[in-house]
Amino acid sequence: MKRALLFTFGGILAAYSSAAWLLRTHWRENLSREALLCRFHLCNTEAVASEAQRQQNRGPQGLADLLVLRRALLARQPHSPYAWADLAEALAASGDQTSALLAIRQAEEMAPHWPVILVRAANFYLNLGRAQEALARSARVLSLTDAYDRYVFSLYLAVPGGLPQVLASGLPADPRPARAFLLFLIQSSRAEEAAKLWEWIEERQWANDELVNRYADFLLAQGQPAAAQRVWSRQYQARSGGYGKTHFVFNGGFEDEFTGGPFDWSIRPSEGVQIARDSSERFEGKWSLRLDFLKTQNVTRAGVSQTLVVPPGAYRFQAWLRSEKLTTDQGVFLRLRPRSAGSGTEAQTPALLGSNEWRSAVAEIRVRGPQPAVYELEVARNPSLKFDRLLGGSLWIDAVELQPAGP
């Protein structure tokens, strides 16, 4: 009796093994045999899923077979939110909106905090023209993770009603997604939408220094220097005084750490130059800027600059400079140069050589208008043509100002 049972069990096991092998090899594409064997728990669900994907790729021609396959897969995986979402999309494509809605809601109930399911639900509702439901799901995704930011923001560009609809219900009460969305619009060169979103962010006081710098850079690149300066100066108004109104050099006394923004000092030392704020030597306040020239290069641009946006009119530029043992026959000066030829006059301060105590360096410019001109203020030097042309010594800069000229 026992031997008979063993033989019977062995035969069944051999049959199962053989059938399983055939299912994964010779019968891999034979879904009717797969369905038959699956009744005996010998299933090749991977093959069925692969065929479902193939039918989906066929579009309308494969829709009937796709529905059969999606239902079959759901019967095998009734607790899978993915299977319910797959069926919902197939039902929607077939025009059965009522059943599709039931299926997608079942997927959401099973995985209410799964971003991947919520993203699929958002796309599902958007395809059905149900923008509000799509935005609600998208907002939940943005509050859970940043992994789907670009996908969600791409959906937002297709939402009927445009950005106002998105701002009304598509962004959670959290600054992170709003900031990320603005950066996405900047990268996509969507200037109009970016401007509206920026206003929305400012109203909520969600702008930080990094975001302001990026947006101001974008406005500059879009040819809107005045708007860029307004945006930027509002963020830094506590430390800028009348910047952009009564004077046009930011942080001219070097009293604050550099922000990295487009209208603050850009410090990118050229080869042969070392640059740092210095509290041991200054004309006024607590700090100045020190440049040490290492006598290894025939320096022409030191790597200190600032972008200025200057309204039409006449201006007086002044800086206080101190030097120690500046070498060669060509001295160091501060130069103001308009980016666009003809928008304003160019000027530079007298060149400084040797050792000098603090002295005023003055120049004048005129912006012709009618629009503000973009200027580059930089520390520069003409190249020396002599054999001993490598620049050495030190220069201190403080109290840099550009103000409207008096009557």
Q: Of 104, 38, 98, nearest to 72 (Cα)?
A: 38
Q: Residue 85 to residues 90, 94, 119, 136, 201: CA-CA distances in angstroms? A: 9, 14, 11, 17, 34
Asked if the bond preceding 172 is cis, omega within 30° of 0, the reply is: no
CA distance 181 to 142: 10
* Strand pairing report for 392-404 and 313-326: antiparallel
CA distance 217 to 33: 63
Cβ neighbours, 10 Å, residue 269 = 14
The pLDDT value given to residue 21: 43
Backbone torsion region of residue 53, taken as left when φ is above 0, otherwise alpha when ψ lies between -120 and 50, otherwise beta: alpha
Do the beta carbons of residue 309 and residue 228 sit within 8 Å?
yes
CA distance 101 to 125: 9
The pLDDT value given to residue 11: 46
The pLDDT value given to residue 19: 43
Do the beta carbons of residue 129 and residue 160 sit within 8 Å?
yes
CA distance 401 to 251: 9
Do the beta carbons of residue 291 and residue 248 sit within 8 Å?
no
All domains in the chain, ordered by first residue: 266-404 (2.60.120.260)
Do the beta carbons of residue 291 and residue 379 sit within 8 Å?
yes
Cβ neighbours, 10 Å, residue 275 = 20
Do the beta carbons of residue 349 and residue 304 sit within 8 Å?
no
Residue 297 structure tokens = 């290069």
Do the beta carbons of residue 329 and residue 405 sit within 8 Å?
no
The pLDDT value given to residue 54: 83
Residue 351 structure tokens = 């060149």
The pLDDT value given to residue 337: 97
CA distance 102 to 108: 10
Tell me which residue has tokens 């800027």.
289
Do the beta carbons of residue 281 and residue 350 sit within 8 Å?
no
The amino acid sitting at 368 is R
CA distance 362 to 338: 17
What are the per-10-residue average pLDDT scores of the chain (407 residues)? 50 45 48 52 65 79 83 87 93 93 96 96 95 96 96 94 93 96 97 96 94 96 93 84 90 94 94 97 97 97 96 96 97 96 94 97 94 96 95 98 88
| C-alpha neighbours within 13 Å on the C-beta side of residue 25 | 6
Using DSSP's 3-state secondary structure scheme, residue 314 falls into strand
CA distance 115 to 221: 35
Q: Report the predicted TM-score, pTM, of the whole model to 2 decimal places.
A: 0.81
Using DSSP's 3-state secondary structure scheme, residue 203 falls into helix
The pLDDT value given to residue 35: 57
Do the beta carbons of residue 356 and residue 288 sit within 8 Å?
no
Q: Of 77, 84, 79, nearest to 104 (Cα)?
A: 84
User: Strand pairing partners for 278?
Assistant: 288
User: Strand pairing partners for 305?
Assistant: 266, 378
